[in-house]
A and B are shown apart, each in its own frame.
Chain A
């Protein structure tokens, strides 16, 4: 009898959401405060259902396309609501501009390109940078323009860059403009890359619309593996370390130099595991649908110099900056001085892309300077031998430079960044590491674990993947359950949004 009572209560609780009067609102409403992350368990459950239905449509080209576009638009609506209209407007106008660019020649073609680029960029400039310019104009000229209460549509920085690459590629005759607006919409809205990249190029992605990969057992395992690894990276490692980093950066002056230093390392690992974890999930989700997105990270912290680092870190952005800013400016074709100048301009834009704040511009400037310095160094002192020692020394130096620059990226202000650096330089005592270990040994373990994974050789990672892949398909459901429960055991109750969502 007692058991029955418990059972009824349990069953009632299971079906409680169905009785919720706000059920429809929760399902179909949007909330800018709670956008759909890949790490949200509700998203994962809906995605599971989405896949089951997808299986019935996968062989019908048109229906498959319509189904994915609809889900992608819904995905975007859940986080940005009415800005979906703005996004749709941008898609239609890009589509028309691309056709017009393709059908014209000479100066008319050029004018159309500039017109379309200005139009695309105007949304980003307004929503992301208007307040930055207003505040700086006010402080420079003592004017009193009011700043705007603007909501930054999620993913705008990413899809604006995709739109630019498409228009420029059509202009350069590298790709044909799509004849069907739904093809372009598919490319732009494809939900795995929609809100935080990777920035996908039309020439890589458009051909896949018509011939997606066929799902077989290997692809199924690879995609699930990428999703699970991504979830672990984000929820298990990045969020855990993030708790400590947040506390230190709230008031860096209250922490010793050693603790600020550990927060610097912590944030370096947090941002890497956060963003590469997101990219892994995006790649995994796309793969299970039959589409392959390019890799966005390739063990960047193992880079032996800053140039190599930028070939391995946020690859879709760095290659975009190279192909659509650095090379069109002139690249290394216009003399030594101009090469360095173009490099600096490219990195400044890269920094500014991350956020409308002088801290990001400074971050871009520092990286530009380092890239220029490395270029000059390599020309004056070409390396004759590539010894193991020089490799290791290069990795240590590069990692510390990158980690140092992250302080400006993470701090809440310039002043806070300088306080953190001052604490590291002037208030450093080795014994403080002992204190940290006693009070926060779990964070210490997590930092060591993160460092181990970040610097682990790719060969070892591949070996691990191959071993996991030998598990038969039917056992993967247990693996998923196991990984999800591990995440629940360790994750904070408040899931942090992906760092790159804000960009």
Chain B
């Protein structure tokens, strides 16, 4: 590939610049259009840039419902824990379903401690490794599991694989579909335990979840495992303690979740482990 340059040309450098700049401009201008071009079945994809994400987030913020905030009737119970007054004498034993990515794999042990303390039963934990909103929203896997196990309460935690996702419009559609699947069943949608600032996935989840059902975990400081991303045992326990306080004081669907006297109890409920690499679900 050796060259022996003969003709110096300043215009060639200008042309080189334009060779990069003009295609970039064409791609950018096309990405600003609302209508994508289709050649037969193939859609010519558009780029989703930063400004696109920001605009989309701004749209979400605009449409955010601002329900009249009612102060929860929270009281201090005899053991010194905050709890919603309606739960004090609640003896309902819930059938709890856990759904999520690898985060639920870590959380389920702490949830198990809480459930055993409060008389609830975990009917199934679905650990869908590396799964994203697309897997949960687009597939009928969750519908089938709900139909089979008939839970009375669902804990759902995922999103760690989507912190840097920028295709928020597509994820919002999938998140809405997921929320549709849960209609009629009390649930708590636990936001991802961010190890870094996300590009808006938390806002997408929050806007898709019913008001009062989304627990924002991103601002919690949790100790992490060696990979720097997943919480470690201590982190999962602290995370669950925060979730439990929220769920029995402020969540829309409240659940009795008193702090367990005994921790690290054996986990005896069934678990389904799925790999998104092998099974996308759709």
Return A72 CB to nearest CB of chain B, in Å.
17
Interface centre among A17, A26, A476 (most CB of B within 10 A): A17
CB contact between B167 and one of A216, A485, A493 (< 8 Å): that residue = A493
Of the stretches B7-15, B82-90, B118-126, the one at the interface is: B7-15
A247 contacts B277, C-beta separation under 8 Å? yes
Question: 5 shortest A-B CB distances, which residue pairs?
Answer: A48-B21, A51-B17, A481-B23, A55-B13, A48-B20
Docked Cα-Cα span, A21 to B276, in Å, equals 40
B197 contacts A33, C-beta separation under 8 Å? yes
CB contact between A477 and one of B19, B55, B273 (< 8 Å): that residue = B19
Return A119 CB to nearest CB of chain B, in Å.
31
A54 contacts B15, C-beta separation under 8 Å? no
A435 contacts B278, C-beta separation under 8 Å? yes
Return A398 CB to nearest CB of chain B, in Å.
26
Q: Which residues of chain B are within 8 angstroms of A107 by Cβ–Cβ distance?
A: none
Would you call B49 an interface residue if the criterion is a C-beta within 8 Å of the partner chain's C-beta atoms?
yes
Docked Cα-Cα span, A227 to B227, in Å, equals 33
Q: Which residues of chain B are within 8 angstroms of A180 by Cβ–Cβ distance?
A: none
A481 contacts B26, C-beta separation under 8 Å? yes
Q: Which residues of chain B are within 8 angstroms of A51 by Cβ–Cβ distance?
A: 13-14, 16-17, 20-21
CB contact between A254 and one of B13, B20, B273 (< 8 Å): that residue = B273
Interface size on B, residues (CB 8 A): 58
B16 contacts A248, C-beta separation under 8 Å? no
Would you call B267 an interface residue if the criterion is a C-beta within 8 Å of the partner chain's C-beta atoms?
no
Nearest residue (CB) in B for A263 is: B277
Nearest residue (CB) in A for B227 is: A412
Q: Which residues of chain A are within 8 angstroms of B166 by Cβ–Cβ distance?
A: 493-494
Interface residues of A in 343-364 (CB under 8 A from B): none
B6 contacts A41, C-beta separation under 8 Å? no
B5 contacts A16, C-beta separation under 8 Å? no
Return A86 CB to nearest CB of chain B, in Å.
24
Docked Cα-Cα span, A213 to B12, in Å, equals 13
Docked Cα-Cα span, A113 to B85, in Å, equals 75
CB contact between B278 and one of A50, A216, A250, A439 (< 8 Å): that residue = A439
Would you call A445 an interface residue if the criterion is a C-beta within 8 Å of the partner chain's C-beta atoms?
no
Q: Which residues of chain A are within 8 angstroms of B9 by Cβ–Cβ distance?
A: 215-217
Interface centre among B6, B275, B277 (most CB of A within 10 A): B277
A215 contacts B16, C-beta separation under 8 Å? yes
Return A357 CB to nearest CB of chain B, in Å.
10
Known: A219-B5, A494-B166. 15 other contacts (CB 8 A): A10-B32, A41-B49, A49-B21, A52-B18, A54-B17, A55-B14, A223-B16, A224-B19, A247-B129, A250-B102, A251-B102, A254-B273, A439-B280, A480-B20, A488-B46
A247 contacts B276, C-beta separation under 8 Å? yes
Q: A26-B50, A52-B21, A59-B10 are in contact. Are A440 and B45 (CB under 8 A)?
A: no
A residues with a Cβ closer than 8 A to B are: 6, 9-10, 13-14, 16-17, 20, 26, 33, 41-42, 44-45, 47-52, 54-56, 58-59, 213-220, 222-224, 227, 244, 246-248, 250-251, 254-255, 259, 288, 412-413, 435-436, 439-440, 462, 465, 473, 476-477, 480-481, 484-485, 488-489, 493-494
CB contact between B275 and one of A10, A254, A288 (< 8 Å): that residue = A254
B27 contacts A247, C-beta separation under 8 Å? no
A45 contacts B11, C-beta separation under 8 Å? no
Q: Which residues of chain A are within 8 angstroms of B5 by Cβ–Cβ distance?
A: 213-216, 218-219
Docked Cα-Cα span, A407 to B188, in Å, equals 39
Q: A16-B55, A41-B49, A44-B24 are in contact. Are A218 and B18 (CB under 8 A)?
A: no
Q: Which residues of chain B are within 8 angstroms of A250 by Cβ–Cβ distance?
A: 102, 129-130
A494 contacts B24, C-beta separation under 8 Å? no
Q: A216-B5, A219-B3, A484-B27 are in contact. Are A14 and B32 (CB under 8 A)?
A: yes
Interface residues of B in 205-221 (CB under 8 A from A): none
Would you call B185 an interface residue if the criterion is a C-beta within 8 Å of the partner chain's C-beta atoms?
no
Docked Cα-Cα span, A261 to B184, in Å, equals 44
Interface centre among B24, B46, B197, B276 (most CB of A within 10 A): B24
Q: Which residues of chain B are within 8 angstroms of A484 by Cβ–Cβ distance?
A: 23-24, 27
B276 contacts A224, C-beta separation under 8 Å? no
Q: Which residues of chain A are within 8 angstroms of B197 by Cβ–Cβ distance?
A: 33
Return A21 CB to nearest CB of chain B, in Å.
11
Would you call B272 an interface residue if the criterion is a C-beta within 8 Å of the partner chain's C-beta atoms?
no
Q: A59-B10, A255-B277 are in contact. Are A220 and B27 (CB under 8 A)?
A: no
Q: Which residues of chain A are within 8 angstroms of B76 by Cβ–Cβ distance?
A: none
B19 contacts A476, C-beta separation under 8 Å? yes
Interface residues of B in 106-151 (CB under 8 A from A): 129-130
Nearest residue (CB) in A for B273 is: A254
CB contact between B8 and one of A26, A215, A465 (< 8 Å): that residue = A215
